[in-house]
Structure 1
Amino acid sequence: MQLKDISGVDVIVVGAGNAAICAALAAHEAGAKVVVLEKAPEAEKGGNSFFTAGATRFVFNNLDELREVLDVSEDEARTVDFGTYTEENFFDDMGRVTQYRCDPDLTEILVRNSRRTLAWMKSKGVRFEPMYGRQAHKVDGGFKFFGGQVCAFWGGGAGLIDSLHTITKKIGIPILYETGAVSLLSKDGRICGVLAEQDGRQSEISAGTVVLACGGFESNAEMRARYLGPNWDLAKVRGTRFNMGGGISMALAMGAMPCGHWSGAHAVGWDVNAPTFGDRVVGDGFQKHSYPFGIMVNANGERFVDEGADFRNFTYAKYGLEVLKQPGMFAWQVFDAKVDPILRDEYRIRQVTKAEAASLEELAGKLEGVDGKRFLETVAEYNKAVRQDIPFNSVIKDGRCTKGLRIPKTNWANTIDAPPFQAYAITCGITFTFGGVKVSPSTAVESMSGKHIPGLYAAGEMVGGLFYFNYPSGTGLVSGAVFGRIAGTEAAGYARRAQR
């Protein structure tokens, strides 16, 4: 579809990832005529959502509530321990990992709408699956989930985007690919459309309201260096190459209030030889998240974080920064044969930077860029410090710790002494940026004076104020869906009122 074919639009949604499509579906459901603008070509659609594992986090107090989202068979109900995840758990996790800076109003909306929003997506045709391979281990012949997270969108991020775009196409919402929003249009103090570009030509599209859901600035090396700091321009980008901060810049140009942790980002341990931007075939396979069961060493051959501080769900999004701080901006994750059976599936892909050896001395010689002598000393010191009198249990914070080390390991401390030994080279991979614009509980974008900018809404990574320093795994997709749905509904209502 061409720009010239667009007319009579109530709601323009900028972006075509999870948050954007949820906004489009909700606006359509509310009776609005919607058009979606996607800067990427169709073959690269979906923004960062495509590159995720599809994990999601939501409140459920019992099996019946879990089944509102996830189809659980009777056999699974008997043999799988899904646990529960209460509102209190979710509030506590959000507060704890963000150092209690998360916006209380937005956090309450996120938590209390988490399950009902995913159930709404399910009613539209989106499917979910248990995360057996990444969030559960076998215990006494059955699976036990840990970390408050039990399911993902079927087929991961790629499956989610395929499903959402199929649903959108089926109900007749047009998506204009390779069509970027250049700037917002305003008239009489309200947003009334966008200036869009397609095939090198720019055209104005009028609309009752606009929803910006086109990501943060993680793909923009200059903005990363400017706002996040030195060496962030050298970080790998886990996802799309199109999240250049355009939506944020457009909103700020209209007087939007900056909000959130502008010098913070979600960043993880990522294969050192991964491409500059995300690979749509490998997806999230370059991540390496079994570090709680081993140790991480830097170029000096020394540990630099407490690998077992918490479930990886609550540390992985901040440890990418710790890797970036190391000499050479890389590290090696080291494991022995005892934990090989519980390493996550991303350790078994073909595109992996791996060293393997029958002895620690041999492994030391294979860790490129690492002081081998100091590495062997580090392992010896670590092994000596492990509290072997405490039983190892991978599905709880087992308290199996080290004693007397400068950097302790709080849980899951196993001696590294059973060959063969294996190590994986990682660097920093940025997922998304935490800084965005201030929105009201209705997702209306607020101005520097604290008032709503009439006709402008935001969702997804553009919402500032939810995440600071860190992030509970699976919260990005559910927050995108929650605030995307709200934005679409509110935008449709505003457009309807504006026509009166």
Structure 2
Amino acid sequence: MIPPSSCGVLVVGSGNAGFSAAISAAQSGAGSVLLIDKCPESWTGGNSYFTAGAYRIAHDGLASILPLVSNVSSEQAERIDLEPYTEADFARDMRTVCGGRSDPELSRVLVEDSGDAVRWLARNGVRFWLSFNRQAYEVDGRTKFWGGLCLRTPDGGKSLIADLQASAAQHGVTTSFSTALVDLRYQGSDGVVATVRCDDGRRHEITARAVILAAGGFEASPSLRSQYLGPGWDMAYVRGTPYNTGDVLELAVRSLGAQTFGNWSSCHSVAWDASASTDPNAGDREASNEYTKSGYPLGLMLNAEGQRFVDEGVDLRNYTYAKFGRAILSQPGHLAFQVWDSQTSGMLRAEEYRPERAEHITGRTIEELAKACADKGLLDAEAFVRTVHEYNEAVYAHRRENPSARFDPSMKDGLSTQSSGKRLSLAKSNWALPLDQGPFLAVKVTCGVTFTFGGLRVDPQTAQLLSPGGGKIPRVYCCGEMLGGLFYGNYPGGSGLTSGTVFGRRAGRAAAAAAAAVEEEGDLVRS
């Protein structure tokens, strides 16, 4: 398809942020809105398609969430414990998880706009469910939500993108796929001229009164990962779209003089099934997020040399899973083994750990499990066995000193390996049950890269691009993974999609206003 030669607002990128921006621009009176993406239509959705569809928002508890969701009966609601997650809670998590480095104003806007942004999505046809399967445990007959996260879309990124596409179509947004942005330049007062390369191999020009960049980071480029994230990152598996290769980031800096901003040496990366795909540079659109392996707080992670390398219980999974991929990548062979016994293996989420999505390595004893893992890349089975036995001894010692301590996966329960009788050099700080009840299960994992944190600097109020001197770049805006300065080293689970909608919505409004101003100026000149 050859795109139209002009539009009111041009949006580059078809993920959650891009569609949010396009819908917002259309609602704000932008006139014609055109959304382009270099991927073919079959790859619509960018990385958003591959997510679990989780949104982190500030809220007042269960009563404020129920109007947003469609999968809770009145009988279920009576058995749910969902405490308020306040703006102060969200802001604290941003400070803690990002090491105090998140840009204060960007973070404030994200937190304060989070609830309204999701309600806006719901009004525009995006369906939400309470995330029973990912964010709740049954404890004493109650469904207890944990980790500040409770909302997801019914079928993860698949239903999210389908709902956003439907809303965009209802708002008259035109889409053009296999349309790669290759240049941007200004053309007097008429607007911004975008040069694109289409699937016919030819270049075409689109004149837009305003442009919104939402084309993702550079996580699908092995060379840029190595350049910015460091040695070894070319070996990471790409969880999502293969089309986020940093082209538009580099274009914005080169052609517009945009200011780079944020944590360019870090990214969101997770424990990823080591046998997930024959292509490490692209996600599987059918399996999607199901190759994530986030059940490690219920067990242990050991590297190929049979050693633990992270505190699996240092915090709730929502605050650790996005950084543990880096830890796995730094291990010998870029791999690890997640291990459980029969006490917790039944608690693993089926969508991630059922045999169709994960190769099960099993054993009736730890020794038998170690031997089976040795056939899958474990280099030192004896060290593996010693590590588990030493861990068990530390757990037993803690239990003797704390006989009333109780396992509770919905909170940091304090079940630890650290006591006066025995302390491990690397603790497991919570959920430290002994691994002593067979049969035993292991799953081999590697590092899956989700999105990069480095991006471009924007005005937090409008998402307008800024130059290195702090000046506003006229009529060009940025949102989604291209926006830098929010996440450093880690991120609170679910805040990425929320950011895409919060700043996409703001970018859409601001771009529509800029487009209207350009049109009005042109009318005055012509008159």
Tell me if 1:14 matches 2:12: yes
SS at match of 1:215: coil
Tell me if 1:162 matches 2:162: yes
In 1, Cα distance between equivalents of 2:62 and 2:239: 34
Q: Is the CA contact 2:6–2:206 (under 8 Å) kept in the aligned structure 1?
A: no
Residues 374-427 of structure 1 show CA distances to partners (whole Å, capped at 9, x for unaligned) of 011101100000122321111110000002101001000010000110000000
In 1, Cα distance between equivalents of 2:340 and 2:332: 21
Tell me if 1:392 matches 2:392: no
In structure 2, the CA distance between the partners of 1:149 and 1:496, relative to structure 1 (3 Å rule), is same
Deviation at 1:75, TM superposition (A): 2.2
Residue in 2 that maps onto 1:257: 259
1:88-487 correspondence runs (5 A): 88-188=88-188, 192-198=192-198, 199-253=200-254, 254-275=256-277, 276=280, 277-345=282-350, 346-367=352-373, 368-370=376-378, 371-386=380-395, 387-388=398-399, 389=403, 390-403=405-418, 404-441=423-460, 442-487=462-507
Which range is displaced more, 407-416 or 192-201?
192-201
Identity across matched positions, percent: 43
Q: Is the CA contact 1:191–1:454 (under 8 Å) kept in the aligned structure 2?
A: no
Q: Is the CA contact 2:7–2:34 (under 8 Å) kept in the aligned structure 1?
A: yes
Q: What are structure 1's unaligned runs of at least 5 residues?
A: none
Count of matched residue positions in the alignment of Structure 1 and Structure 2: 498
Deviation at 1:154, TM superposition (A): 2.1
Which range is displaced more, 305-314 or 37-46?
37-46
Deviation at 1:188, TM superposition (A): 4.4
In 2, Cα distance between equivalents of 1:105 and 1:326: 36
Report the residue type matching 1:453 in the other structure: I
Report the residue type matching 1:46 in the other structure: G
Report the residue type matching 1:394 in the other structure: P
Deviation at 1:472, TM superposition (A): 0.5
Deviation at 1:342, TM superposition (A): 1.4
Residues 71-113 of structure 1 show CA distances to partners (whole Å, capped at 9, x for unaligned) of 4542232111122211111001000010000011011100010
Q: Is the CA contact 1:445–1:458 (under 8 Å) kept in the aligned structure 2?
A: yes
Report the residue type matching 2:52 in the other structure: A
SS at match of 2:445: strand
In 2, Cα distance between equivalents of 1:125 and 1:145: 25
Deviation at 1:23, TM superposition (A): 0.2
Q: Is the CA contact 1:193–1:210 (under 8 Å) kept in the aligned structure 2?
A: no
Report the residue type matching 2:112 in the other structure: R
In 1, Cα distance between equivalents of 2:455 and 2:372: 42
Q: Is the CA contact 1:285–1:349 (under 8 Å) kept in the aligned structure 2?
A: no
Deviation at 1:187, TM superposition (A): 3.0
Deviation at 1:300, TM superposition (A): 1.1
In 1, Cα distance between equivalents of 2:102 and 2:343: 39
Residues 464-500 of structure 1 show CA distances to partners (whole Å, capped at 9, x for unaligned) of 0000000110011111011000001100001111222
Residue in 2 that maps onto 1:493: 513
Deviation at 1:319, TM superposition (A): 0.4
Deviation at 1:62, TM superposition (A): 3.1
SS at match of 1:489: helix
Residue in 2 that maps onto 1:27: 25
In 2, Cα distance between equivalents of 1:373 and 1:260: 43
In 1, Cα distance between equivalents of 2:6 and 2:202: 21
Which range is displaced more, 472-481 or 68-77?
68-77
Residues 56-79 of structure 1 show CA distances to partners (whole Å, capped at 9, x for unaligned) of 110111334223533454223211
Q: Normalising by structure 2, report the TM-score.
A: 0.93
Report the residue type matching 2:359 in the other structure: T
Q: Is the CA contact 2:238–2:283 (under 8 Å) kept in the aligned structure 1?
A: yes
Q: Is the CA contact 2:270–2:447 (under 8 Å) kept in the aligned structure 1?
A: yes
Report the residue type matching 1:424 in the other structure: V
In structure 2, the CA distance between the partners of 1:26 and 1:366, relative to structure 1 (3 Å rule), is same
Q: What are structure 2's unaligned runs of at least 5 residues?
A: 522-527
In 1, Cα distance between equivalents of 2:498 and 2:504: 9
Q: Is the CA contact 1:330–1:427 (under 8 Å) kept in the aligned structure 2?
A: yes
Residues 178-229 of structure 1 show CA distances to partners (whole Å, capped at 9, x for unaligned) of 1111111223499613101112110110010100001000001110000000
Which range is displaced more, 351-360 or 402-411?
351-360
In 1, Cα distance between equivalents of 2:102 and 2:130: 28
Q: Is the CA contact 2:139–2:408 (under 8 Å) kept in the aligned structure 1?
A: no
In 1, Cα distance between equivalents of 2:309 and 2:436: 20
Report the residue type matching 1:260 in the other structure: G
In 2, Cα distance between equivalents of 1:348 and 1:136: 19
Residues 214-251 of structure 1 show CA distances to partners (whole Å, capped at 9, x for unaligned) of 10000011100000000101100000000011121111
Report the residue type matching 1:238 in the other structure: R
In 1, Cα distance between equivalents of 2:143 and 2:61: 17
Deviation at 1:167, TM superposition (A): 1.7
